[in-house]
Chain A
Amino acid sequence: MLKFVTCVLLFSALAAYSENDVIKLKNYPSQNPFTDTLRIEYFYSHDDESSFWSQMSLWGSDCYYEGKKINIKILEDHPELTYKVWMQKNPAPLIIILPGLGGHYTSDTVTAFAGLFYGKGYSVLAISSAMNWEFMESAAKTMIPGYTPYDAKDVRNALSIILNDMLERYPALITKKMLMGYSLGAIHALFISDFEAKENLLGIQRYVAINPPIDMLSAMSKLETMFEIWQTWSKDELKNNIIRSTGIYMSLIQHKIPPRAIIPIDEDDAQFIIGYAYHLNLRNIIYSIHTRKDFGFIKTPYSWFSRSALYKEIDSFGFNKYRDTYIKKYFSEVFGESFSFEKLNENSSLMAIEKNLSENQKVRILHNMNDFLLRKKDIEWLRKVMKKKIVFFDRGGHLGNLFTEEFQSQLIESLKDSD
């Protein structure tokens, strides 16, 4: 009996210990990881609707227009890369934002982060994701994005040139630099922290990663599975579900559904919306690659006036096919005989930089317990490696709790106490 009681107490203590890094979101109407994820649409810049003047007005204050766009040459023989800055008038810390898969520096999420940080007294710099066409064409030495170490190197190289440019433009306005990434941007931020620990090029004092997937290739496969849910629908279901989910998504982006209300959408429809959004991102990635170099996987001829057939063929590519064609061909040439997907996956995983994550005191991670890109063992691994440097939220799916006060105050908290 004594043994039984001891065991129960021990397990309770262990459970309590493992759960004490979890922040419980109040009044968060969690439904499932996928529907929770759609709540990212509630994270937007609020000032565009509350001011007396509209966003186009010269008197208006709109976060999107307050940012300044600057073009800069990153690589010779490539077009210039555009980055956007929101500079404080007085000296302030600079936060660099790395968006998620396919994310552009003009996206609503980037603008919302910029508005949040700017409002707290930080200056902000945003660039497009390494898997966005603009970055790929202007700043990527790697022709095929998707292999995290190489993508992160490209981002680091671009940032070093941009930061030098900023120091020239705003010599006395940047007191320190912090790097924040979400989703794919988060995994890039963490890899950059590893590079920087070996060679300090950027002088970053804090790295904050929001909802990083553990490895990119598995995450991409998961996104494809989500998109392919339509394959299990009947013809009638296909029509109805697409229309219904589009309608609800429209209501969400127009903020017609209050943030604390239940979203009237089921798990499958939510999966489809998320998967379809990423599928469209993949379309842009492949289009960008194909227009610069023909790898022989796409046969349809095209011209400026006629590209629909080309897109049709590109749309037949999912993330797995992209991996099995473009990534395989490109990296087989780069690595030669030593190439294998297992190796590629291993090097792209956060586990490849476990030592840095464990020892680097500049790194912080914010994650959600019900992020669909995390498996149970990933959570355990993150806890073991990051210890007190990670904070979990009990709900939110993938990025679906960015709008909550709890998340935002924790994010700002994570930026403090940097060297």
Chain B
Amino acid sequence: MQFVYEDNFMRFLIVFFAAVLFRTLIANAENPAELPSEKIHSVTFKIPIDEKQYFLADCILIEKTDAFDDSYNYESVIVLRKRSFKTVDEKEFEAEVNISDPIEGFNRVMTSFNYGLVMYVFRPVAIGYATVFPRFMINGFGNLTDNLEFLVRTFSCMLQAKFGDAGEESLRFLINTVLGVAGFFDVADDWFGLKTHDEDFGQAFASWGIGTGCFLVLPLQGPSSGRDCVGLLFDYALDPKTYVYGAQWFAKLNKSSLYIQEYEKISEANEDGYTYVKDIWYLVRKVKIED
């Protein structure tokens, strides 16, 4: 049996003191299964404190079989939750963890298209590629292509007024290009401890207060959003690889030879990988934006 009880603040105080009393008297009452009676019901008290907050208390009712009066045939054990003030509701939680998806049909088709492309085109090519090039070379090519993207990161940092980070990115580019064989080795990090800043134009737009927009799966690119899609245009425009024939494809192939296993695992382990990827992508994107 589950019901919710709503009442005023005085009731809250009564419940509170009753709970403290019972909690002191009855040990190990947190689990109804531990109590001997078979007729046990759990109840949740929901007592408003003000318009936004309310108090939650779990109550266990034990039906008394020897009661003469029906109106008093319950004993109750009230168990306080550790933190009982509920302050946000499901809608607010959903807003934090879910991105709007009005063009889900299109996105699902694109996800299937990308899956086919990755598993039946990229994967066999990536196996061949990884069989020819050892890990250190794949990592080196990855460093090199990342190094070429320094303009995207530098401008994005500047647009977010992260001038120190923008300076570090420029310095990293100089060091890696000169000392790291055009960026094949990330000596800026290895020797000088200068870490890269994972920034792009989508993050810069977010810092200006532009909303995420709807979820969008792009062919060949994967999960994105309305805002990030526009940001991507700027990312590509500032990336030198865009202007060298086949360079973007090479960068994608190189990266996929390292990360395709994760993609495979997610696709295999989830009946509906689309929803899983959408939720995780959105959370990870939020982390990057707030970074």
Contacts and interface: CB of A to CB of B under 8 A. Distances in A.
Interface of B is mostly: helix
Q: Which of A56, A217, A235, A342 has the most CB of B within 10 A?
A: A56
B258 A54 contact: yes
Interface string B262-291: 001100111110011001000110110011
B154 interface: no
A315 B97 CA distance: 11
Interface in A259-305: 268, 280, 284, 287-288, 304-305
B87 A232 contact: yes
A312 B261 contact: no
A229 B272 contact: no
Interface stretch (B3-11, B100-108, B145-153): B100-108
B271 A54 contact: no
Contacts of A311: 275
A235 B258 contact: no
Given A104-B269, A287-B272, A342-B33, A242 B127 contact: no
Interface residue range, chain B:
35 or more
A324 B33 contact: no
B96 interface: yes
A365 B131 CA distance: 43
Contacts of A284: 270-272
A280 B270 CA distance: 11
B177 to A, nearest CB: 25
Given A243-B290, A246-B286, A342-B33, A231 B279 contact: no
A407 interface: no
Given A234-B88, A340-B38, A307 B127 contact: no
Contact of B96 (A59, A234, A238): A238
Interface string B115-130: 0000000000011011
B135 A54 contact: yes
A52 interface: yes
Interface stretch (B66-74, B78-86, B199-207, B218-226): B78-86
Given A250-B284, A284-B270, A340-B38, A53 B88 contact: no
Contacts of B187: none
5 contacts: A232-B86, A233-B88, A234-B87, A246-B286, A288-B271
Interface of B: 2, 28, 31, 33-34, 38, 40, 56, 81, 83-88, 90, 92-94, 96-98, 101, 104-105, 108-109, 126-127, 129-131, 134-136, 138, 257-258, 260-261, 264-265, 268-272, 275-276, 279, 283-284, 286-287, 290-291
